[in-house]
Every structure is written in C-alpha cells, then in structure tokens.
C-alpha cells in the first residue's frame, strides 16, 4: 500500500502529469495513479487529458497561467467619498447612497458600509457594530 497525500499543490500534480506523460503513460493510467496517491479529489480525467495535450504541444511550465478577474470598481478614493456621504447623514438608506454613486451596485455599497465601515442598521440609524465601553455604560 502507498502513502497518500491529502492536499497537494496544483503545480505538484501537474509536475507528476508531465513526468508520467514523458514516460509515455496514457492519461487514464495517469488519472488512476494520481487518485491512488492523492486521494479522490485530485483532478478530473478531462483536466489530465488537457494538461497532457498541452505538454505534448511543447508547454514546459507546470504552473497555471495568471488569470485576470473582473476589475473592481471599488478603490480607496471611492470608499472615502462614500464615507464622507455616510458621515453627513447617518439616517440614509442604501438606495440614497445608490442615487449618489450609481456606478456601484447596491450590493457593493451595502458591503462597503457593513464590512469596511463595520456599521449595522439600528432604529433607522447606522451605528458601529461594536460599541465602545463608554457607550455600553450609558
């Protein structure tokens, strides 16, 4: 019986795929061997075939290519502007903020207020989530 490896890095698995492909092992056999050592959730048979095809086409890098995600519209300047509006009137709604900052979705505005500023709605007012000790005594 072989020792199993629980959480392998992607580049480690890709290196094994490249090594076994160089030894002319078929993709189905590579998958069987990977599942035997790296347990069931290692990678799919289709992904192994994809990597084998790429290695056969001349790819030598075992690391995934960097992917560009969706660009974020939230930056520090925008957060500062939202904070400024927020401090002007704490009896605002997310809808009122959305009217001011229509380039941001309501969901993102709500996340800015609740996650970045750490505020919660309380009696139609936005208050800090954690009250200081002075306010707790009152």
Question: Which 3 state secondary structure label does DSSP give 86?
Answer: helix
Give the pLDDT score at 90: 73
Residue among 99, 135, 97, 102 nearest 114 (CA): 97
Rounded to an integer, what distance in angstroms lies between the CA atom of residue 15 and that of residue 62?
6
Judge whether 16 and 34 are in contact, CB under 8 Å.
Answer: yes
Q: Per the structure block, which two tokens stand in for 98? A: 């959305």
CATH number of 10-57: 1.10.10
Residue ranges of the chain with per-residue pLDDT less than 50: none
């Amino acid at each position: 019986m072989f020792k199993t490896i629980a959480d392998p890095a992607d580049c480690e698995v890709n290196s094994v795929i490249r090594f076994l492909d160089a030894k002319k092992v078929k993709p189905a056999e590579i998958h069987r061997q990977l599942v035997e050592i790296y347990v069931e959730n290692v990678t799919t048979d289709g992904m192994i075939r994809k990597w084998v095809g790429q290695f056969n086409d001349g790819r030598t890098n075992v690391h995934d290519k960097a992917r560009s995600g969706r660009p974020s519209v939230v930056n520090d300047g925008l957060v500062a502007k939202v904070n400024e509006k927020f401090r002007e009137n704490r009896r605002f709604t997310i809808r009122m903020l959305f009217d001011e900052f229509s380039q941001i979705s309501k969901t993102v505005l709500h996340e800015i207020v609740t996650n970045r500023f750490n505020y919660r709605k309380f009696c139609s007012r936005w208050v800090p989530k954690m009250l200081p000790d002075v306010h707790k005594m009152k």
